[in-house]
Amino acid sequence: MPINKEKLAKRQEAKEHNPDFARPESWRYKRLESTWRKPKGVDHHQRKQKSRGRPGLVKVGYGGPKEAKGLHPSGYTDNLVFTIEDLGKLNPKTDGIRFGHSVGTKKRKEIIAKAIENKFKIFNARVSVSGSKS
Residue 33 located in a structural domain: yes
Beta pairing partners, 78? 96
Check whether residue 57 and residue 84 sit in a common domain.
Answer: no
Residue 111 located in a structural domain: yes
What is the domain extent for residue 106?
77-122
Phi and psi angles of residue 93, each rounded to the nearest 5 degrees, phi first:
-75, -30
Per-residue pLDDT at 1: 57
Residue 69 located in a structural domain: no
Residue 56 located in a structural domain: yes
C-alpha 115/C-alpha 87 separation (Å) is 7
Domain count for the chain, please give it: 2
Check whether residue 82 and residue 117 sit in a common domain.
Answer: yes
Per-residue pLDDT at 134: 47
Residue 127 located in a structural domain: no
Q: What is the pTM of this model?
A: 0.70
Do residues 122 and 128 touch, judged by C-beta distance below 8 A? no
Per-residue pLDDT at 131: 53
Total count of residues recorded for the chain: 134
Could you report the average pLDDT of every consecutive run of 10 residues in the chain (134 residues)? 86 91 92 94 87 83 90 92 94 94 92 94 76 51
Residue 45 located in a structural domain: yes
Check whether residue 82 and residue 105 sit in a common domain.
Answer: yes
Residue 71 located in a structural domain: no
Check whether residue 54 and residue 84 sit in a common domain.
Answer: no
Residue 49 located in a structural domain: yes
